[in-house]
Amino acid sequence: MSILSLVLLAIIFGAVFISIPFFRERNDPSDKQIRINNYIKSLSFFALIFGILGQLIGLFSAFSAVKIGSVEASPAMMMKGFEVSMISSIYGALIFILGIILFRFFRRNMNLV
């Protein structure tokens, strides 16, 4: 989750850096702004994949603990564990959605092709 939070901060800082010239009414985008906009898209995909990977690692460790027999698991306990493992993938998906919205906004409104 901390890596996903760092990715979210990187996306926010990139969006702030791109939008500073936008508020100064400069309409010619620089190569650096275009690269950062592409980094925003790449980081958002990374957040989605990393969130899903976090869920899979959590489920794998839970299932291996049940398989070994060190944990006696009821169905209610398994469902609660599955619910907790979904947190990282939901967080990654929300970061992905935010990143793609920012990417498309800057691409359309600031002529970043």
Confidence bin at 112 (pLDDT 50/70/90): low
Give the type of residue at 107. Answer: R
Question: Directed axis angle between helix 2-23 and helix 75-109, to 10°?
Answer: 20
Above pLDDT 70, what percent of the chain? 89
State the Cα angle at 23 between 19 and 25, rounded to 5°: 115
- In the prediction, which pLDDT does 113 show? 63
Task: Flag whether pLDDT at 2 surpasses 90.
Answer: no
Give per-residue pLDDT as tens, 72-96. 777 777 788 788 889 999 999 999 9
Query: Hey, how many other C-beta atoms are within 10 angstroms of the C-beta on 76?
Result: 8
Q: What is the pTM of this model?
A: 0.83
